[in-house]
Amino acid sequence: MNLFPLVLYLLSLLVSVLGSLPAPVNLTITSVNFFHVLHWDPGPGTPPGTVYHVFRKNEIKKREWLSNETSFTLRSKTVDAQRELHELTVQASYNKTLSPESNKLLFSPYEDTKITSPKLSLAGCGNCIHINISIPKANKRSQINDIQKFYGGKFKILWKKRNGTVEEPYNTENKSFTLANLKRGVEYCVQVHMNFVVNKNTEPSAWECAFTSIVEPRRGEFTFRADINAVMTVVWCFY
């Protein structure tokens, strides 16, 4: 005999008779690039069909939303809200009965959100390598246009020859950087870290590699190459 419907029935009876509903438990938040989702577990014995009130309290006010799931995407419509400390609680509601509020979860978006890795694009330029850094975009709702400017942070650029050891890193605020004074015709690899003082929850980029230019030809060769290039250009033009 399947006891499940019976158990559910008894639970709902219990709720209606005792008028008591357990508080939600295990509040956690997953926050990536300022996209914040609150999760919780229903307290033991919570009947199906229970809905949840989500409360967010900051220094200024308490706000409330309703959810029929055990997760909720937090909406913070101002940049300032990303810098505030949020106190989150959840309360269950079933057939006009309310549970106590859950334990508080404290959440500070700008300190706690995980920033995913930047992407790099590299191009050799003679004895140097140009690096462009593109950082992940913040969730639109956060109103943050540029994560790096929001934090006022720097990039730390690690670099090395492909099979070499890591050299003294560079720090820069710019999303474009040139590694200069390199050997020509050598492959170098670069990894970028985002150094944001208040948020250590950042992922570095992958190591990306590129060759500086091919070995610089001697003068005679150069002219010869230039001629070939000229011829090639002419040929291309005729196509």
The C-alpha atoms of residue 142 and residue 18 are separated, in whole angstroms, by 42
First to last CA, the chain: 81
E strand or H helix that includes residue 171 = strand 170-172
Exposed, middle or buried: residue 102 (CB in 10 Å: 0-12, 13-18, 19+)?
buried
User: How big is the chain, counted in residues?
Assistant: 239
Q: What sign does the CA torsion over 49, 103, 77, 64 have? A: positive
Which residue from 108, 117, 132, 213 is in contact with ligand NAG, where contact means CB under 6 A?
Answer: 132
**Is position 121 an interface residue for ligand NAG (rule: CB under 6 A)?**
yes
Residue type, 197: V
Q: Which stretch binds ligand NAG (CB under 6 A): 76-84, 116-124, 154-162, 227-235?
A: 116-124
Nearer to ligand NAG, 42 or 136 (CB): 42
Give Cα 194 to chain centroid, integer Å. Answer: 12
Name the segment binding ligand NAG (CB under 6 A); options: 98-106, 110-118, 120-128, 162-170. Answer: 120-128
Q: Does 214 bind ligand NAG (CB under 6 A)?
A: no
In which region does residue 81 sit, left (phi positive, over 0), alpha (psi from -120 to 50) or beta (all else)? alpha
44 binds ligand NAG (CB under 6 A): yes
122 lies in the binding site for ligand NAG (CB under 6 A): yes
Which contiguous run of DSSP H or E holds residue 233? helix 219-238
Residue with smaller CB distance to ligand NAG, 63 or 225: 63
CA 156/CA 169 separation, integer angstroms: 6
Which region among 74-82, 99-107, 119-127, 201-209 touches ligand NAG (by CB under 6 A)? 119-127
Is residue 95 involved in binding ligand NAG (CB under 6 A)?
yes
Question: Of the ranges 30-38, 122-130, 144-152, 188-196, which one interacts with ligand NAG (CB under 6 A)?
Answer: 122-130
Nearer CB in complex with ligand NAG: 199/212: 212
> Is 93 a binder of ligand NAG (CB under 6 A)?
no
Q: Which residues bind ligand NAG (CB under 6 A)?
A: 12, 16, 25-26, 41, 44, 68, 95, 121-123, 130, 132, 176
